[in-house]
Structure 1
Amino acid sequence: MGARESISEFIEQAKTDQQLASQVRALKFDPSAKTTVMPYSRRDYYKIWVTVGTSRLHYATHTVEIPERALIFSNPRVPYSFESDGRNSGYMCIFMEEFVKGMRTESLQDSPLFKIGAKPVFFLDDHRYAVVSDLYEKILAELETTYVYRYEVIRNYINLIIHEGLKMEPALSAVKHHSASSRIASLFLELLERQFPIDSPRHALTMKKASDFATSLSVHVNHLNHAVREITGKSTTTHIADRVVAEARALLLHSDLSISEIAYCLGFEYPNYFNNFFKKNTGTTPMTLRK
């Protein structure tokens, strides 16, 4: 009986470890090592990173000049582009909100470091850099161990990095763009794509209207619509509809989700709303396509 219980506990622990391993990743990057930076296109991964070297961080309406070491917090709902000369080094950690949820009373979306409209760039003096880089080294070392509670330890280190950010004043050296249409359109398309692919009902779309994207980009919806139409020749609503239709086709043809589940995943309150939308945009019904 005792042996069976031990085996069962081992299996359960292995499942838990596998789940936690999918929720957090970290690396140290260095141009001399030609490290491949982990992808950051998933809609549910937050990112905390340190960059050492001259660079720029471009948001929809402004650019932050980074002339030195900086600690940066990234929300998956706020797109950006990063520009450097390729000689930057530093650390990176990406994680899902559920990984740190047990230690926090607020949602990361409401955190001063991650909420939409925040200025999550912090310059690091020698002391702060030593503290933060030491925490990253400990995360990397812990990921290599087989200690049964290593993910709890890593969770603690991530929260300590978050607290280091909360102690600091954000960098305010932001440069406004006088003509940001191209940048806004590009970031809108990136943010739209970041919601896909849909792989389960728990990943339902959260941004379905132009106003949702405008909020994430911290611009007025009319400004967003004007920029997208000026650069692409199509309206924001058309881009959203086209991408939803493309995802609907993929799910209908290549997934086992029911049509009702697909409708829910794509942000439709009722299946008949989805049916009408799909027929209007494709000329056929979801059921007909699936058959």
Structure 2
Amino acid sequence: MNEIHTIHSVAEAHRFFGLPKPMHPLVSVIKFENVNFTVSNMWKRFTNNLYTIAIKKGSNGKMKYGQSMYDFDEGIMTLTGPRQVFSIRDIQDIVVSGYLLTFHPDFIQAYPLAKIINKYGFFSYATNEALFLSDKEEQIILDLMKAIEQEYNANIDKFSQDVMVANIDLLLIHVDRYYNRQFITRKNLHNDILSRIDSLLDDYLTNESKEHNGLPTVQFLADNLAVSPTHLSDLLKNATGLTSLQYIHMKLIDKAKELLATTNLSVSEIAFQLGFEYAQSFNKLFKNKTKVTPLEFRQSFN
């Protein structure tokens, strides 16, 4: 029941979607209204070796995608990279329109895009971290999808791949811009998450059992907040200018300073209390972040 189905190629994706053979072995532009979501039970849980870029809009209610319910009255984009595991559920009564662009990494291998595509964090976001589009943004994305579709359906010549890759490149630049806008416009939500991060770290660092759990990790925060590690890092970068690991280190140093200034615990005891396996590792991090050793910091209070 928990078997993960793997889609290895564009042709295999077409078979799963109940579609005829693709016109190109490495890329396809699919209209959602042509997809047969009931053709296979693989929708319960699956992964693929492809990049997918989807813009979806529904006409009759909500759809459960990943772990969240989405209102499909608005345009929603989801993007996934190779080897991600995800699922789509509760789809039998939903009419979805829009486009699914899917391509194999080999399709862009000879282009500059291949070298920069991994910098786009949204390809590794969890499926409940979709991009919500304004009407204007939605139209821009749809126009680019239609341009790619038009080139895909045209007679293939030596320029076809160049044109499609150029449009994919431009589409991703727009998506990057819109995700950045979403981070800004959802600032209140992100502030709430920031408060939850602080609470999680404060609880972790004051919990006596953390000596047995080790240092707090990015994955620990992501799991407790139900977001992906990449999305968490992007969120913190926008809110604080720090990556997730840098933020954890900042909280560790703050707690260490508190213990150094207000207790008689030795430096080694503080290191182990914070979750460090070795006191040397604590000393190294503390000096790297503060330019003084823990002992020098403590002595500055005397």
The verdict on a shared fold, with TM-score over 0.5 as the criterion, is no
Give the TM bin, normalised by the shorter chain: 0.3 to 0.5
Larger gyration radius, structure 1 or structure 2: 2
TM-score, normalised on structure 2?
Answer: 0.43
